[in-house]
Every structure is written in C-alpha cells, then in structure tokens.
Chain A
C-alpha cells in the first residue's frame, strides 16, 4: 500500500526508479514504482552478468545477458567494469547498462524520466564516486539519483517475513555480512544507518575462490588457466564448507593419496570426478562419485571411437577452497577469518549496540549459498560471543537478491525516496564535488 499524504512532495520526481545493485559479477536490476498496488518482490528483479565476454573460438563478443546464447565457454575471456567491487571502467559499464536497461529489449528505461537508486560497496574511493555521479547525470541524464552503500537498505526488510507493514522500519540494530564476488564485508547498521568506522572487509570473495580453484586444478591436473567460466561452474557444483576445523582435518586425511609405497584409497564419499563439458555435445559438466578405474583412463588412453570423457578429480579442493573465508592465512593472506572479523568490527561499538547486532545478523551474498557455510559460521562464532548474549544468525531467503529487494522496498515509498534523491537541476547547479559530500553524509 502506498503511503498517503505525500503526493505533493513527490510530484516533481518521476514515479519510476531504476534500482541497481551493481555487483562485480552480476547486476541485480528492476524498475520500481512508488504507485504500485503491491510491494516489490523478487519477481521484479533480474540478474545480468556484469561483463563483456569475448570468445576466441567463435570470434563473438557477448555483452552481459547475451551470454545466455553462448554455447561454447571454452577459453572465454571476460572484461569486468567493476574491480574490487567498485565501478572502475565506465566505457564497459556504460555499454552494459545501455544494453540491458535502455535498449530495445530488457527494462527499457528512459533515464530522463526515471530516478536511479544505485548501490555501491562500502569504502569506495571518493574519486570513483565522483566519476560515477558525473556519468549518471551528465551522460545518462537521470532525472534524479541516490547512491548509497547497498547492504544498508537491508534494514528496510520486514523483520518478520509474514509482517507486510513497512511502518516499523528501519530495523534498529542489524548486522549484515555480505560475502560476495569481490570480497566479504561486515556492516553494522543502526536505524538503517551504516556505522562507517566499524565496517570491516575480508579480502576473500567468490572471485578469489574461483581463481584459487583454477590455480589448483591447473597445477594438479590440466592447464585450465583460460577456463574461468568452467572453474566457476565447478566451484558452484562441488564446493562445501567443512563444519568445523576438526572436520576439515578429518576430510583432509580422507582425501590424501598417501605416500609412495603406502598408497591410500581415496574416500569416494568426498572425492568426485567432474565430467568436463566438451562444448560439442555438452555445454555444462557434472560431478559424480570418484571412480579410480575411469579416472586412470586419461586422455589418449581412451578409445578413439565412441564417447570419450575428460575427468577432473576433485578431493580436498572441494572444501579447502571455501575454507579461505574462515582461514585466509591458509594461502598467506594476513587476515583473520570471518568469525573473528565480525568480532573485530563489533569491538568498535558500545556494548549495548554489540548485543543488538549479535542478535540480528543476516548473511547475504553468493558465498553463503555454499553448503555448510552457515553451520560453520555459527559453530565458530558462538564461542566468541560472550555468555548471556543472544546470537541470532540467519541467511537471507535469497542471498543474491536480498539487498536489491531491500532497496526496492525503500524505493517504493515516496516519502523515504524524496528525502534522499538529488535532482539533476541541483547537480547542475552545485556540481559533483558537492554531491560526493552530500551522499557521504558530510553536509547538513
């Protein structure tokens, strides 16, 4: 239900807002109206790859969602406009936005008649923010615009999913763990406002995990350094997080080949063979339990006639790769693991807030989908939380699109939107330096 009594104030701003969660791997996007009869839902959000890909095989270039049409991901090279979570290359980002949101297909948004709500990562360098604002108003010419740290808008989700009224929002205390492609960030929110000095970042994100798996597979089996797409697919298919350090140690033992003269049987409840796609008959691969006989028949030993298979055996890679989120030092990254990082962030807050934050932790981002992630986080976090404190930890219903939906709920309420939007005329008058300070909370 749209709130009443604010018609006059919003008359100037367009009713439609393009809500963009512009991630390093994918863009979550949708048009949100302040006059819709129902609140926004996940159905209003589409997810597009935030990249331009080039195939040396078919010599084609794929912009964002055109990748849906790709049938040969072999040696596919990617150009990503977002680096470490921030928009760095506007030439490519512009091409993707125009293709997805302003072209003949897709969202068909006319920027001159729409607001833009653009979400960014925390701790963005100011020069990049300035570039962003200038492109939004000077190149795209959006009618009005708001840029903010995306996960903060998660405070606009109803705490109780059955509760449809948005009146009690934002939530008082909320601790967002955003474990995404670029990195993992910890964001304490009070009344929907980010406590900037307590935001902490762990360098480990989905990109690093995929690249690590690519490195390990290339070292141990085949040179797959050009197969980023495939290794990402394999990572998503086989990864799991060991439920505890003890379980990690056990699993490591069960997947060890043994010594010369003392060979061990690999535990096929953990070790899998990934059947690689050949990009002729199959576009995607799949995993199945390890079969020592079949895996010995490497390329060249298989019959030339009939179906051939290329197998990638995966043992400790399945759990040693996502383990980096909990033990970054395993590859020499000098950072504490996620549970300790959460406590480091909270150490910057007064005790009353710490209690509130620990009771209201919500995890978003793609890495939280890895089986075992939440269990391990809870297992390691609990002993760090003082006795008598409540630990409330949950994974968002849809970790990829949760932040977008929070933002969409915010954007559907005209009186909230009106407080934050800056119109193009005001930008033209005051300039981008002013706007960076305004969105940074340095004015007023």
Chain B
C-alpha cells in the first residue's frame, strides 16, 4: 500500500470570520464570453480590484506555499550515498563534493554579488549603450531576493546600440507594439545591432524570469481552496476563497491559516 490516510472533511463548529465577497462584476465565465466586459470592470473606480488586493501577510503565505511546491529536495530527509567512493582527487574536488548547500544559497550569493558590482563605479565605456542592460526586470514570486535595479554590468560591448524599447508601466502592451509595425516590411537586420545582441552576456537567474501580467488585464482568477471550483466566498481570517458553505467548513477544518 502507498501511505494514505483518510482526512477529516467536515466539522460541525462554524467559526466566525467569513464574509461573502460582494460580486462587483468579476464573473470568470462572463469575462471569457465577453472580453470587453473586463475592461469596464477594471476601469471602474473602487471596483473589484480592491477585493483582489492581498495583505502583506497573505502575500508571504502565498510565496511560502509556492516555494514549497517548487522545492526539489526535502531538507528533513537525508539520504546518504550508498557504497564506498574513492577519495576526492584534489582540494577543489574535496571542497565541492562536501557542499551541502541548496540552490537557494547559490542564487542568494549571485544576487548579493551583482548588487555589490552595481554599487561599484561603472566605467564610462560600458555604462551606456549595452543591449544587456535591458532596463530593470520585474521579479516574479520565484526570485528569492528583492529586485535588483538593473542587470550586472556586462563585458564591454564592441558596438554601441540603443537598448530595444521595453514597454513598462505604459498602457501599450508589448503585443500592441508588435502589431503597430506589422503592416510595414521589417527593416533589414543591422549587423552592428545583431553583433551586440549575440555578444550580450547572460542574465542572472533572478532576472531571467518573465514579468507579471500587465496591469489592467483580467484580474487573477480565484478558486475554491477546497474543491477547485470558482471561489466566490472569502475567508476573513486567511483570505482564501471557497465556493460555498460545504467547502467553507472543510477549509476551516484543514487549511485555514496553514500558510501564515
């Protein structure tokens, strides 16, 4: 048998702390059928958006849960390497084979190093025109470190090329930017620009994550924390959503406040 346990799935004590979310217009099924509707909802002042805002505590809880889902190894489990292995052949090898660090530590080191480099004065020749300095990149919840103001100073590029336009904080999405040029023939490849692109160094791990959805897009979909259906009722204690009274009871018996 796999290791399985039956879970309690309901409780008779109904704790206070629940509220029905006033439905201010976000109905996922309607949004999908009539996409125009979502723009109106988002534009309406004091509309549904307030309901979707999370407290700092809720955000920490979500980040912890995601980190848990993304974990490769369980630090509580130690599995030793079986059998006898030959001794390390050099000092370097001995040190590296003994490391018990996790990826988190290496990524933290990388970010710390990058921010140190940024505080150091940047030589003039490399400060300008590098394609790799593609502007600040937004961080996802997966980054273990606060956002860095810009990428690491890259190796001096051979060609000075203006950084490609990066639309940020403007109402024009990147897709719109692509569309606006579609009618004309694309300009031929500029060899200098191409050379700069190809010689640009890699981004740091944290900087390589894609950005969050553009503001003004459809709001985040909310699901029942218990059964996965739409979450229309919000738990005042932890902010989770449930679909109805039955799942509300189950949520309280199991997961309420688990991640806080």
Contacts and interface: CB of A to CB of B under 8 A. Distances in A.
Given A90-B99, A260-B246, A190 B2 contact: no
Interface in B233-260: 243-246, 254-255
A75 B3 CA distance: 6
Contact of B186 (A54, A252, A351, A442): A351
Interface stretch (B18-26, B118-126, B202-210): B202-210
Given A196-B203, A348-B134, A350-B193, A299 B79 contact: no
B85 A95 contact: yes
A82 B189 contact: no
A125 B164 contact: no
B148 interface: no
A221 interface: yes
Given A335-B212, A355-B186, A279 B201 contact: no
Interface residues of A, number: 123
B56 interface: no
A139 interface: yes
A362 to B, nearest CB: 19
Nearest to B72: A83
A350 B28 contact: no
Interface in A340-366: 340-341, 343-355
Interface in B47-102: 62-63, 65-66, 68-74, 77, 79-83, 85, 88-90, 92-93, 96-102
B213 A336 contact: yes
A336 B89 contact: no
Interface in A261-287: 276-280
B220 interface: yes
Nearest to B93: A139
Contact of B70 (A193, A207, A246, A353): A207
B140 A333 contact: yes
Nearest to B200: A197
A294 interface: no
A161 to B, nearest CB: 28
B6 A299 contact: yes
B90 A138 contact: yes
A256 B227 contact: yes
A94 B81 CA distance: 10
Contacts of A82: 72
B174 A125 contact: no
Contact of B73 (A83, A90, A280, A389): A83
A347 B166 contact: yes
Contact of B164 (A199, A249, A327, A348): A348
Interface string A79-105: 110111010111110110010000000
Nearest to B155: A442
Given A98-B85, A123-B202, A330-B221, A320 B2 contact: no
A415 interface: no
Interface string B163-204: 010110000001101110111001111100110011111111
Nearest to A231: B2
A334 B110 contact: no
Contacts of A79: 73, 77, 79
B68, B81, B203, most chain A CB atoms within 10 A: B81
Given A52-B82, A331-B66, A331-B69, A442 B208 contact: no
B62 to A, nearest CB: 4
A141 B210 contact: no
B92 to A, nearest CB: 4
Contact of A80 (B7, B73, B178, B183): B73
Contacts of B211: 335-336, 344
A350 B190 contact: yes
Contact of B178 (A83, A330, A347, A441): A347
Given A88-B106, A90-B97, A249 B28 contact: yes
Which size class do B's interface residues fall under? 35 or more
Contact of B228 (A94, A98, A216, A329): A216
Contacts of B73: 78-80, 83
Given A91-B81, A91-B97, A331-B66, A196 B229 contact: no
B257 to A, nearest CB: 14
A386 B96 contact: no
Contact of B88 (A78, A98, A139): A139
Nearest to A141: B89
A21 to B, nearest CB: 17
B247 to A, nearest CB: 9
A126 interface: yes
B232 to A, nearest CB: 11
A316 interface: yes
A422 to B, nearest CB: 16
Contacts of A378: none
Nearest to B210: A341
B2 A224 contact: yes
A212 B141 contact: no
A94 B132 contact: no
B53 to A, nearest CB: 13
A334 B72 contact: no
Contacts of B13: none
A28 B158 CA distance: 37
A82 B209 CA distance: 19
10 contacts: A79-B77, A88-B102, A123-B203, A134-B96, A211-B69, A249-B32, A344-B174, A347-B174, A347-B178, A350-B187
Given A200-B210, A320-B228, A330-B220, 20 more contacts: A78-B73, A83-B73, A91-B99, A125-B106, A125-B110, A139-B88, A139-B90, A195-B200, A203-B141, A219-B7, A224-B3, A256-B229, A299-B6, A329-B212, A330-B223, A331-B66, A335-B209, A348-B134, A384-B175, A386-B182
Interface of B: 1-7, 28-29, 32-33, 62-63, 65-66, 68-74, 77, 79-83, 85, 88-90, 92-93, 96-103, 106-107, 109-110, 131-132, 134, 140-142, 155, 164, 166-167, 174-175, 177-179, 181-183, 186-190, 193-194, 197-205, 207-213, 220-221, 223, 226-230, 243-246, 254-255
| 7 nearest A-B pairs in the assembled complex, by CB-CB distance | A386-B182, A83-B103, A222-B4, A351-B186, A332-B62, A203-B142, A334-B212
